[in-house]
């Protein structure tokens, strides 16, 4: 007997299927006739995808700068997995790991190459903070929790050190099984060309559509040659919307050139979740529908693309044997005014609305889903 059977779930390609769950895994898909402890009929009206993965959040509750609770940025908003992008370094990763064990949301970490983590904006201004041995020991202690490394390469972070912290980060990466390395880009120095030329296949540029002068587009609106070369080597682009790192204008220009993101992430924490302009991963995803990406493209950026980029082997796909992490959502037609990090606005009429999430086979209603009582999970 299945633990849970979702009947007539609509997929993003608009096909309708049943999905059976047993022991925290996807057990069957298709026209399913077997019995289940609980059956929920979605009537072909509600979409179901693999559980949404937010590749860039800040949810270490003790961070003095960017803090939040994993379930506030995760399961409550239909997101089943979050990756904290560098809030903690080797000195506080153990505490962060312990705190995340209490969350419903699956939490992973990108280890800040600064051992002190994000206790101040300039964590890479002191090269002594970049301790390869401490990083190596942290990865050994938490091999299933630390899924990559994080280096914030903007002038306010690195101070007078320029490109040196990234050179150290690449060395640490090589010493730790070539873990994915996410690199924050912002104001220069260092110049983006210097950064891009050091990156290799599987590395991730986050804040890829920021509106700052040190951005991926030239003043004439063309893609920088260094970024084109990096993409050709397999470097991935991540959104990382955040409070100051996403521009509608840059996103529109880049997408018009065929430069699409591999992953859509929020860079969410309590302040930009409550006051905006982020609010939730769903709202960031909706912005990309407004810009012109299709629903399947947007969902891929928070499911299989995200899982592949961070080597989450049993997540990101609706397939037998994969983790039973699912997001149930609607695509609603209603007027919405979105704002980017540059305070520019975009009017649209489509809004992704998460109704519920299934995490490891157990169902959780979002605030929206609970309020509307659209089905009983």
Which residue positions form the known binding site for Zn(2+)? 56, 58, 150, 184, 207, 267
- State residue 132 phi and psi, 5-degree precision: -65, -40
Measured distance CA(158)–CA(168) in Å, rounded = 12
Query: Taking the chain, what is the end-to-end CA distance rounded to the nearest angstrom?
Result: 18
As annotated, the binding site includes 56, 58, 150, 184, 207, 267
C-alpha span between 282 and 265 (Å, rounded): 10
Element (H, E) at 95: helix 93-100
Burial, 30: exposed, middle or buried (Cβ in 10 Å; 0-12, 13-18, 19+)? exposed
Measured CA to CA, the distance from residue 145 to residue 148 in angstroms comes to: 9
Helix (H) or strand (E) holding 148: strand 146-153
Distances (CA, A) of 18 to 5, 45, 363, 364, 374: 7, 13, 16, 19, 18
Give the phi and the psi of residue 227 in degrees, each rounded to 5: -75, -40
Instruction: Please name the helix (run of DSSP H) or strand (run of DSSP E) that holds residue 249, with its range, or none.
Output: helix 248-256
């Amino acid at each position: 007997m299945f633990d849970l059977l979702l009947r007539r779930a609509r997929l993003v390609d608009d096909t309708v299927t049943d999905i059976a769950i047993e022991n925290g895994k996807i057990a069957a898909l298709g026209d399913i006739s077997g019995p289940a402890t609980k059956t929920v009929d979605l009537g072909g009206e509600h979409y179901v995808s693999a559980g949404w993965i937010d590749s860039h959040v800040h949810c270490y509750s003790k961070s003095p700068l960017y803090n939040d609770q994993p379930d506030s940025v995760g399961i409550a908003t239909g997101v089943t997995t979050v990756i904290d992008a560098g809030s903690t370094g080797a000195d506080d990763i153990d505490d962060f790991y312990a705190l995340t064990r209490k969350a419903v949301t699956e939490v992973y970490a990108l280890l800040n190459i600064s051992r002190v983590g994000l206790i101040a904006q300039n964590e890479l201004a002191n090269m002594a903070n970049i301790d390869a041995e401490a990083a190596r020991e942290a990865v050994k202690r938490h091999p299933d929790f630390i899924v990559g490394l994080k280096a914030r390469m903007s002038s306010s972070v690195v101070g007078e050190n320029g490109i040196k912290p990234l050179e150290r980060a690449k060395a640490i990466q090589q010493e730790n099984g070539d873990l994915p390395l996410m690199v924050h880009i912002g104001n220069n120095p260092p110049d983006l060309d210097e950064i891009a030329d050091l990156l290799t296949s599987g590395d991730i540029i986050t804040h890829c559509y920021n509106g700052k002068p040190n951005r991926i587009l030239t003043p004439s609106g063309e893609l920088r040659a260094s970024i084109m070369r990096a993409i050709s080597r397999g470097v991935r682009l991540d959104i990382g919307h955040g409070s100051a790192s996403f521009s509608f204008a840059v996103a529109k220009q880049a997408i018009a050139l065929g430069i699409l993101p591999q992953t859509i992430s929020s860079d969410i924490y309590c302040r930009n979740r409550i006051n905006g302009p982020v609010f939730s991963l769903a709202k960031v995803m909706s912005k990309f529908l407004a810009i012109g990406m299709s629903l399947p493209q947007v969902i891929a950026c928070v499911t299989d693309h995200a899982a592949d980029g961070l080597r989450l082997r049993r997540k990101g796909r609706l397939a037998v044997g994969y983790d039973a992490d699912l997001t149930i959502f609607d695509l609603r037609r209603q007027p919405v005014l979105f704002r980017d990090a540059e305070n520019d606005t975009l009017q649209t009429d489509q809004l992704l609305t998460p109704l519920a999430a299934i995490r490891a086979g157990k169902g959780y209603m979002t605030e929206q889903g609970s309020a509307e009582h659209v089905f009983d999970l």
